[in-house]
Structures are given as C-alpha cells and as structure tokens.
Structure 1
Amino acid sequence: MKQLNWATLGCGVIANELAHALSKEGRTLYSVANRTHEKAVAFAQKYGISKVYDNIDDVFYDPDVDIIYISTPHNTHINYLRKALSNGKHVLCEKSITLNIAELDEAVSLAKENNVILAEAMTIYHMPVYKKLNEIIASGQLGRLNLIQVNFGSYKDYNMTNRFFSRKLAGGALLDIGVYSLSLIRWFFKETPTQVSSQVKYAPTGVDEQAGILLMNDAVEMATVTLSLHSKQPKRATLSFDKAYVEIFEYPRGMQATITYTEDGHKEVIDAGDTSDALYYEVRDMEKAVSSASSDEIETLMHCQYTYDVMKIMSDIRAEWGMKYPEEE
C-alpha cells in the first residue's frame, strides 16, 4: 500500500494525537496548516514536520497532500471541507463533522463529485472493542437488543466566554458530546431511529447546556441519552439484550466491556484495543479506505452512513428546539 501523505489543519490536542498516531509506524505528518502561522511552525518543529504553509489555504492546493485531517472548531468545518473536497483531497474531519445536515449534504455531494472520501473522526466507529462486541451480538448469544442507556456529563466552568458555551464557536452539549452518545446508539441499532423526542436546558448564552433524548427505530429498539456540560456524570453506556446486558465505561474511547448474563448472573469481560491508540485506529481505517476500490469496504471501514444518520438526528432536534447558530440565521 502506497504511503499516504497526511496534512493537519489545526494544531490543537487532536493534531498532537494525530502526530503520535503516525509515529507508531515510524512516520511523520507531511505538512501542517493553521490560522496562526507561528503555532504551525512550533508544531512542525515539535514533530519534525518538514512543510509549513504560509497561508492556511495553501494546504488545499498542495498536489502532494493525500489526506487532510481537520481539527478546527466545528463551525469552521464546512468552509474548509468545500476547499479540500473541491481540490480532490480525502478528508477525515473532527466531530461534529458539520453544523447541520444541509452542510453535510453539500459536503457529501462534493466528495462524490471529486471521487474522494469524506469521513468523520468518530472514535466509536474504530475502537476494536466495538467491533468485537458486534461479532458477539451477531452470534446471537446475547439475544435481541431492546434498550440502550447512555450518559455523558462534563463539568465545565461557568465561563460564558469559553468555546463550550459560545454561540460563535457552535458550543453546546449536543454537537460537542451528544454526537458521541448518538454515534454509539447508531452503531448498535439495526436501523436509524425514526422517533426522537427531547428536552433541553439552555445556558445563558443560548446554547444547550443540558439535554435528555429518547429514541426508537422501526425495529422497536429504544435508547435514552442524558447530556450535560455543567454536571459531571460517568461516560457510561448500558446495552440491554434478552439474555444479557453490556456495560461500557469511558465509551467514547472504550477499550473494555462487561457482559452480565441474565440467567445466572455470570460476567464476561471483553478487552480489545487501547484508549490511547484511538487516533491510530482512525488513521489505519482511513488509509485502508483510501486504498480501497470497493464502496462497500469503504463504508464498512468509515461508516459514513452512520455519520449522516447522527447529523440528521441532531439537526432535527435543534430544529425542534429552535436553536440556531449565527451561521444558520
């Protein structure tokens, strides 16, 4: 397989993790782009990256770039996606991939027109423990899935100028942490939810600080989600089947699941992967997808339809709330 050249657009925490992920195979990022040139230079020096762009847009026109990883705030994604996809670059984009389903529709169309892959960097779709659980579920030993319960609560300081509560930076619980919960649900549901209802508590800035969501699909699989940006709760997922239930803690980058069997209460612990390698698993699957000529294999690796389904759910929820970001007004 040809070694692919990765460029990072952004120099934050995720970009650092991306650099470490490539280093596991003795590789470095090909190039770095950032709005603040000095930060890009410092990032390049830290990781031995040879190419830094004077202008952030230069990354889109570099013929030697194969894949761009976008890790900027999600309200900036669509503008970068337009440029990257239009210039024939494959893109792995941080969650949430866009602000809304209309933006994602546009980006998907551009990817198809230019015969490139657009995928969301959703850890859940790549962690080995979830692939292992799907094998166990498919075997039938757990029975039918009935209910999923998902919690994600962070305690962020009540500072209305930070990105979590900022409308200008598309803050709020749903796009920042809810995307993980809904992605986990979509991973295990046989079909996308067709019935969704929700409640919301707003922060003083007008973004969603706290939310509760109920979902059900046509297979009558049900789920509940509880989110908060100002009230700590465990990142816990519980999946209830006819013959067992499964518990996963720290599920955004889960590496262990415990199965408790209903009949006799015995437990089985599933260990697969490592939390610290989350970006490595994403990179590996993305490179396999880029090197594949099969649309089915690409979907199996990157789960772009799941990304679309989750974005549709989040867009519909916000439409029901009447909550818009400045770019949508």
Structure 2
Amino acid sequence: MTWGVIATGGIAHAVTADMIKAGAKVLAVSSRDITKAQTFAEKFGIERAYGDYHDLLADPDVDIVYVATPHGQHHEVVLAALDAGKHVLCEKAFALTVADAEEMIERARSRNLFLMEAMWTRFNPLVRKVQQAVRDGEIGEVRMIRADFGFRHAFSDSDRLWAKEAGGGAMLDLGVYPVALTHQILGVPEHIHAHGSLAPTEVDADAGIFLAYDNGAHALLSCSLVANTGARAEIVGTLGRIELVDPMFNPTAVVINGVEHTIEDEGYQHQIRAVEECVAAGLTESPLITWENTLEVLRTLEEALRQLGVSYAGVK
C-alpha cells in the first residue's frame, strides 16, 4: 500500500513525518513548484517528485493520496484523485461548502473508493477514552461543553489563512475542532447561533458559536485568528467533568473526574494506521469519522458562517 502526498506546506511536512514513523510507504509527492516537490522528497526519502498533482495521480503505483492543499482546492483535487482510482485522505475542513462535500462523497461512493476527512482528533486514544467515559455515564448526563481554539496570526490578504479563495478564516481552520468535538459528544445541534468579526478579505477573523439542544444541553465554542485563546475543552455532566488539556485537538492528557490520564504524543500516526486498515478491509469510509459525520459538522459550520455573513459558494 503506497501513498502520494499532494502539496508540500506545513501540514504536509508534519503528516508525512508521522506517516513514515507509522511505517507507511510514501512513494510520491507533488507541488506546483517542482523544486519544492524535489526538496520535500529529498527530506523524507521519497522516490518520486512531480510538478503537477495530475502527474502524481497518473502514477499507477500510488494507492492512496493525502490531500494537504488549502481548503479551497480540496474539491477539485479530491474529485480528480477519485476519478484516477485513488483512495483519499483529505485534510479538514473537508470542503468549502456542503454541496462540494456531498459531490466528493458521491464520487467516492460511485467509484467504490475510500474517502475520509483527516479529522485526526477522533483517532487520538485519549479522545476515544473520553467518548467512552461519556457513553458509560462516568460524568452523568452531559449538560455543557466549552471549547476554544485561537491564536494571533498577522493579517495578509495573500496568506492562506486570510485569503477567501483558499478557504481562509478562523471557522474552517480552527472552529472545525470545537464543533466536531461537540458533535462527537452531543450529536447534531437543534439550534446554532454565531457572532464574530470579519477580516478585510471577507472571511471570519473570530467567532463565538453557541450550539443548543432541545434537552437543554449546550456548547459554548470559540475560534480566533486575532486572539490567543489557547486550545482547551471541558465537558461538564450532572455527575462530573472532563478536561481535555491544551491542545484539545491532540491531547496528551485528559482529566476525568479529577483523575489524569496521559499518553505519548504520536501525532497523526493513529489516523494513518486507521486509513490503511480501512483500505485493507475494503471499506469506503471509516467507522470513526463517517461521511455523514463530516457532512453534519460542515452543515453546522456553514450555518455559523452564514450568520457571520461569510459564504464560500462559487469560490474556486
């Protein structure tokens, strides 16, 4: 089972390093700048470097592609990869719009190929332990979730985090984590309320998100590119509470009813192994992050963005 990596940015470096630690075979990498692809290949001992992702997709020896491009390119690249017969692991946020995500998923279904959003948090052993503790009633009925993810990032209209065509903004890059955690614990909210500010590029600079459930449970979430909020989460129930220590999206420590549980940081390795196991088993989606899970979270994000006055419809 061999991998191809599309794009050579920071996230591609981090994930590729963990692919190799996990024992995955990374055969090829592509970048619009062939020099960057060659440098990346040399750094990680990758055999083949391409200056166009279409050339990588045409490589018959590549089984799975990891799409590490900015969000704005996910739709185009994933469809091309599926049409080329490749299984796909696509970075989060999965797509700019629900409609784009639905098309990507339908293409995977029609091609009978594996496709998964790279929501690595769901594969973290401590996050799985937290979910099981909630299911087992260790903190009683969950009544509230608080989660934040924010940092200061200097504004530049050419920076991918601020550029609308790249899918910039706090919500898709950072807010996806608190929202996904809330969905994982409480499910799909009945009510969504968002408030925040916009950058000159018409993407969200920060946002507060209130997710409410008909039983009275609720989540107070925030994401920001203008303030260093940290990345912590707390789940409060009628009988106790759980804290996910910073960084909540990849915790190495959680506290369940006052008892701390820790693990070594293995980064993306759990996710990579899970993808290979799913592909080997002939699955088209992961049971830990199903296509419907991805769509549910994206629907919440899209509605929150709509309330902020942000739309990515038609952005390519």
* Pairwise same-fold verdict (TM > 0.5): yes
Structure 2 gap segments, 5+ residues each: none
The equivalent position to 1:268 in structure 2, one of 259, 269, 290, is: 259
Instruction: Quote the residue 2:54 is aligned against.
Output: 57
Query: 2:296 corresponds to which letter in structure 1?
Result: D
Q: Contact conserved, 2:126 with 2:254, CA < 8 A, in 1?
A: yes
C-alpha separation between the residues in 1 aligned to 2:34 and 2:315? 29
Which digits, 9 at most, give the CA deviation of each residue in 1:276-312, with x for residues without a partner? x2211110111111112457xx432433322111111
Q: CA deviation at 1:271?
A: 1.6
Which digits, 9 at most, give the CA deviation of each residue in 1:141-176, with x for residues without a partner? 221111101111211123343222222322111111
Instruction: Quote the residue 1:40 is aligned against.
Output: 37
Instruction: Quote the residue 1:316 is aligned against.
Output: 303
Given the alignment of the two structures, is residue 149 of structure 1 paired with residue 128 of structure 2, yes or no?
no
Q: Contact conserved, 2:130 with 2:242, CA < 8 A, in 1?
A: no
Instruction: Quote the residue 1:199 is aligned against.
Output: 195
Q: Contact conserved, 2:75 with 2:100, CA < 8 A, in 1?
A: yes
Q: CA deviation at 1:327?
A: 3.4
Q: Contact conserved, 2:22 with 2:269, CA < 8 A, in 1?
A: no
The equivalent position to 1:159 in structure 2, one of 139, 156, 160, is: 156
C-alpha separation between the residues in 1 aligned to 2:279 and 2:10? 25
**How do 1:107-256 and structure 2 match up within 5 A?**
107-189=104-186, 191-249=187-245, 250-256=247-253
Matched residue SS, 2:268: helix
Q: Quickly say closer, same or farther: Cα 1:55–1:259, change in 2 above 3 A.
A: closer
C-alpha separation between the residues in 2 aligned to 1:92 and 1:206? 29
Which digits, 9 at most, give the CA deviation of each residue in 1:58-95, with x for residues without a partner? 12222221110000111011110110112221111111
Instruction: Quote the residue 2:281 is aligned against.
Output: 292
Given the alignment of the two structures, is residue 306 of structure 1 paired with residue 297 of structure 2, yes or no?
no
Matched residue SS, 2:188: coil
Q: CA deviation at 1:33?
A: 1.1
The equivalent position to 2:5 in structure 1, one of 5, 8, 19, is: 8
Q: Contact conserved, 1:209 with 1:228, CA < 8 A, in 2?
A: yes
C-alpha separation between the residues in 2 aligned to 1:163 and 1:125? 25
Q: CA deviation at 1:36?
A: 0.8
C-alpha separation between the residues in 1 aligned to 2:100 and 2:75? 6
* TM-score after normalising by structure 2: 0.93
Q: Quickly say closer, same or farther: Cα 1:273–1:308, change in 2 above 3 A.
A: farther
Query: 1:316 corresponds to which letter in structure 2?
Result: E
Structure 1 gap segments, 5+ residues each: 261-266
**Percent of aligned pairs with the same amino acid:** 29
C-alpha separation between the residues in 1 aligned to 2:35 and 2:64? 23
Given the alignment of the two structures, is residue 281 of structure 1 paired with residue 270 of structure 2, yes or no?
yes
Query: 1:272 corresponds to which letter in structure 2?
Result: I
Q: Contact conserved, 2:22 with 2:273, CA < 8 A, in 1?
A: no
**How do 1:88-107 and structure 2 match up within 5 A?**
88-107=85-104
